[in-house]
Amino acid sequence: MATFVPSVVLNSGHEMPLIGMGTAPTAPTLPPKDELVSIFVDAIEAGYRHFDTAASYGSEEALGEAVAEALQRGLIKNREEVFITSKRKHNMTLFFLPSKELLRG
């Protein structure tokens, strides 16, 4: 589904959609991972291309799997079509590398 979402060009030259989907839990616990993957794939199918996540949310792995599934199903042509923002902790190496692996899907 093609939709128009306004975006801004960052100093890096990358485009960031101005409308995104937050992945933080709104209930005390997250839904099961397969349900989260389905939610994120549905969001990509609906036109979302910006997702906000963090290691502390517990949703990074499901988001990575959803991006992989969206690629496989042809909903997106490449990973660069999806803009993912995350949070940085004080010890970046300790938190960045595991998050990067989880988002690979």
Q: Is 48 an active-site residue?
A: no
- Give the separation between CA 87 and CA 79, rounded to whole angstroms: 19
Out of 20, 38, 57, 95, which one is annotated catalytic?
A: 57
DSSP-assigned letters across all residues of 22-55: E-S-SSSSPPPHHHHHHHHHHHHHHT--EEE--G
| Residue showing tokens 């060009």 | 9
Q: Which residues are catalytic?
A: 57
